[in-house]
Amino acid sequence: MIIRLATGVALAALLAGCGAETPASNAMSAEIRRTAYGVPHVKANDYAGMGFGLGYAMAEDNVCEIAERYITIAGERAKYLGRGENDANLNSDLYHKRLIASGEMEKLLNGAADSVDTPSADARALARGYAAGYSKFLSDTGVDKISDPRCAGQPWVRPITEEDYWRHQMAGQVVYQLAGIATAAPPGEGDAAAVEDDPLIETTQLGSNAYGLGKDVTQSGYGMLLGNPHYPWDGANRFYRMHMTIPGKLNVVGAGLITNASVGIGHTDSIAWTHTVSTARRFGVFELTLDPSDPTKYIHDGVSTPLDKIEVTVDVKDEAPVTHTFYTSRFGPVLETQTFPWTTANAYALRSIPQGLRSADQYLSMWQAKNVRELHAALSKYQATGFNTTAVDSSGEAFYGDMGMMPNVPKELGDRCAVTELAKQQWATTRVPVLDGSKSECDWATDADSTAPGVFGASKTPQIFRNDYVSQMNDSYWLTNPSAPISGFSPIFGDEATARSLRTRLGIDIVAKRVAGSDGLGDAKFNLANLQASLYQNRHIGAELVRDDLVKACKALRNNALAAACAALEGWDLHVNLDSKGAHLFHLFAENGGLQFKIPFDPADPVNTPNTLDVANPKVMEALSKAVATLTELKIPLDAALGDVQRETRGEERIPIHGGAGQEGVFNVITVENLEPELGWTSIRHGSSWIMTVEFTPEGPKSQGILSYSQSVNPASPFHSDQTRAYSEKKWDDLLFSEEAVEAAVVSRKTVSE
């Protein structure tokens, strides 16, 4: 195997004869051209070469993060890293060992060729190439010579196989009730306390913003898109910028997770799309009635049925191996948490969506779509998205849909089959269906167009096409466009006719003001520059609604201890820019529960209600007093500029970060870690991550973006902090979609081959 710089002759030979997938016997090869910020533009003849180039490039930048992901899905964290805090590594290993022991991945890989669940030849080639490219980097570099100290010389850094890649796909990005499944045991077997429930992923945690702007609201009359996921700044769910080109077959640019050989949010020459975290529940629970004579048997349609057993063993560093027996029902594995106990009378089984390995082929199909109608057809065929999809095409049609596989639990079924008080409470408050597992009539339903048993068919999911716009800020589908509310769906998809988050309300208000030209950003409607400015305006609608009343109430108290706070808030510019003074004080006020509204939600005016600060509520001034006390104790000035107290630490450097809390009404979301004395917040947990803007034109797409936390986790990399500084300065980078643009911007190039 060799690695060499590409010459013009070698490059021409490399690109000759592109088209059909290269046979497995041919050597994989790709050219990696890097432009500013270390962005790799990978060009290959086929999908195997594409995967090879991406695997190699991603390993160059993030080998330690990727290597850790692969010991996770192999169930080997405890083997190399120990049990972990609260047995986190051990529980993770037990969970993933159970997945391995189930044999489900192998069944899917060896399924019928015409099945939607069986990866295509192109998908297999992409996976095979990624594994080979990642492994090639390790062999070229040597584990001992990896420049990232986190994993240099570590025994857990190893080559990977195609099967490893698919196992990673099978495990999924979001795991529900991991510890609850990994520690579940029948009554009398073990005396460990039941684990806490996994929190549902809500809009206050992971989230995203998205605009699909149709021809009626753009200055050019062509489509435009904003993609703005709010994802973790650390860990395996970081995004990675990339450009994938197979001449004559594929040209797609954007970003995907660092462990995937795939542009998950991006654009081609005619469509642009993004994803946002959905309110839909993609899992459910079945309440098992146990056989009184044996808590490992359950009654189904009057018949006592033994739970299946799967025994797994996990190696633990410096300890004896740990063996655990999992119990599985026809619905899925038994879990045990504080909410869902395993008693002698009842147990609870988690049923997950059977997404399997479909995601790769869904994206392959999406990349070939020429408009949003064809993209919709791809989503309908595979139903493999775990998120909302917002998209727009070059003709100016916009689309929104939450079209993944969701448990087919209509409201009537949920109402009828949630029989215990616990089940009724879960259905009413969390929208998680906890159904009677003793009757087959309470199983999930199946539609004529369901792509798997027990899921809603694609036609039964929330979706809409528009020529003006669609928007998504992690509330439900209901107010995607306030002119055309979407309604009539099962609670499993989300709430309808309920109060929207302040961030959703701001997102809709931004569009309305921009279309009217009343936001101070120039002529009416959107172009690329004012779309970007709309995000980076850094408005704070929570403060716009209450700040003046808060200052008035603060002054009326004539409390010397609050005088400086009154002045700081009065002088604040109501934004979360680096030079905004007092924003941090308002953040603590809101975090302490001070945002109390007097005018309640009105479904007839969902964008503008609730509103008006309830100054008579004692929580308001209590929250302000608490915020002042905290900042005073930590010796942080009440009127400090946000850029002086909200930063991301990279080595010895602290980079100022603009943005703020989404739940308070900031569109450009930044979620901080804990306050530190005199310094403020020195680390960002999650928030604006991959930020992408696209405008279609008669000359092709124009696109710019930035990866807020930069391309590499390696502190030794030149691409560890560069885009973070660019984000701090509100800069944008051209995505370089065309071949000519890439060639003009190349900083380095290499050809990697087997």
Full DSSP string of 349-367? EEEE---TTTHHHHHHHHH
The mean per-residue pLDDT over the stretch 369-397 comes to 98
CA distance 268 to 393: 9
Q: Where does the pLDDT of residue 205 fall: very low under 50, low under 70, confident under 90, or very high at 90 and above?
A: low
Contact yes or no for 580/642 (Cβ under 8 A):
yes
Told to judge if 501 belongs to the known catalytic residues of this protein, a careful annotator would answer: no
The mean per-residue pLDDT over the stretch 349-371 comes to 96
In this predicted structure, what is the pLDDT of residue 193?
66
The mean per-residue pLDDT over the stretch 434-454 comes to 98
461-512 pLDDT, tens digit per residue, is 999 999 999 999 999 999 999 999 999 999 999 999 999 999 999 999 999 9
Q: Which residues contact 530 (CB under 8 A, 6 or more apart)?
A: 514, 521, 522
In this predicted structure, what is the pLDDT of residue 213?
99
For residue 638, give the 3-state DSSP assignment. coil
In this predicted structure, what is the pLDDT of residue 199?
66
Angle at 373 between CA 367 and CA 376, to 5 degrees: 70
Q: Where does the pLDDT of residue 191 fall: very low under 50, low under 70, confident under 90, or very high at 90 and above?
A: low
The mean per-residue pLDDT over the stretch 182-192 comes to 83
CA distance 685 to 672: 5
The mean per-residue pLDDT over the stretch 9-28 comes to 44
User: Would you say residue 16 has pLDDT above 50?
Assistant: no
The mean per-residue pLDDT over the stretch 107-132 comes to 97
CA distance 558 to 502: 30
In this predicted structure, what is the pLDDT of residue 198?
75
User: Would you say residue 518 has pLDDT above 70?
Assistant: yes
- Catalytic residue, from 135, 208, 278, 534: name it: 208
Tokens matching residue 405: 């596989």
Comparing CA positions, the residue from 265, 208, 201, 240 lying closest to residue 708 is 240
pLDDT greater at residue 227 or residue 23: 227
Contact yes or no for 532/605 (Cβ under 8 A):
no
Contact yes or no for 336/94 (Cβ under 8 A):
no
The mean per-residue pLDDT over the stretch 84-111 comes to 96
In this predicted structure, what is the pLDDT of residue 195?
84
Q: What is the mean pLDDT of the chain?
A: 94
Tokens matching residue 127: 């996976």
In this predicted structure, what is the pLDDT of residue 21?
44
User: Would you say residue 664 has pLDDT above 80?
Assistant: yes
In this predicted structure, what is the pLDDT of residue 722?
98
User: Would you say residue 391 has pLDDT above 60?
Assistant: yes
User: Would you say residue 289 has pLDDT above 60?
Assistant: yes
23-68 pLDDT, tens digit per residue, is 444 799 999 999 999 999 999 999 999 999 999 999 999 999 999 9
pLDDT greater at residue 5 or residue 722: 722
Domains of the chain (ranges plus CATH)? 3-178 (1.10.439.10), 283-352+409-442 (2.30.120.10), 541-658 (1.10.1400.10)
User: Would you say residue 362 has pLDDT above 70?
Assistant: yes
575-633 pLDDT, tens digit per residue, is 999 999 999 999 999 999 999 999 999 999 999 999 999 999 999 999 999 999 999 99
CA distance 264 to 272: 11
Comparing CA positions, the residue from 157, 150, 178 lying closest to residue 235 is 150
In this predicted structure, what is the pLDDT of residue 23?
43
